[in-house]
Amino acid sequence: MSQQFPILAYGKNRPAQHEPSPYGYTDSKQDVWVHGYVMYGDDYSPYIIEGDDSIIATLLHIKTEDYRIVLSCSDSGEGFHSEGNSFNMNDRKLVTVETEDGPVQAWLYVASTKTREQYMSGMTVLESGDWLRHLTEKKDAEFRAEMALSRW
């Protein structure tokens, strides 16, 4: 593998800012906006597709010595088998994002045609484009509902 691109994490694999780098395999991480994509979600996971919005993701710079295994694990976790494979849950795309230091190319996992057809019909657009924010808002709403019920 000649060039090693960072990985954009936007869902369950996106670390919160106070968390250490995932598995100790990253040199650095930085939250970035990824333009041209829309995030959909339910109670379990988000998916993204191309669109006229933006999502927030964490740009993970993987240590050189760990790159192959981390990319392989990431591909497996995202259901990516190979480019153009009809069994892919997500396709891996090379995109450009703006960072504090300028533009950077990175891998982004985007819902495949199969996923859009089979799993996304009941999902809603997450207007914030931020999965961590969505989870926080969901927890807050559940807590408020529980407090309201406990008053009875």
pLDDT digits (tens, 9 = 90+) for 78-132: 999 999 999 999 999 999 999 989 999 999 999 999 999 998 988 999 999 999 8
Fold (topology level) of 7-150: Hypothetical upf0131 protein ytfp (3.10.490)
pLDDT score at 80: 97
Q: List the single range of 10-14, 95-99, 147-151 with lowest mean pLDDT.
A: 147-151
Burial-class residue 4 by CB neighbours within 10 Å (0-12, 13-18, 19+).
middle
Q: Which of 90, 86, 80 is nearest to 111 (CA)?
A: 90
Domain residue extents for the chain = 7-150
Please give the sequence-ordered ranges of beta strands (E in DSSP) within 3-134, or none if there are none: 7-9, 26-41, 46-62, 90-99, 102-111, 124-125
Q: Are 82 and 112 contacting, i.e. CB atoms less than 8 angstroms apart?
A: no
Contact residues for 53 (Cβ-Cβ < 8 A; gap 6+): 36, 37, 38, 39, 125, 129
> Phi/psi of residue 54, each to 5°?
-140, 150
* Predicted pLDDT at 24: 74
Q: How far apart are CA 33 and CA 20, in angstroms?
A: 21
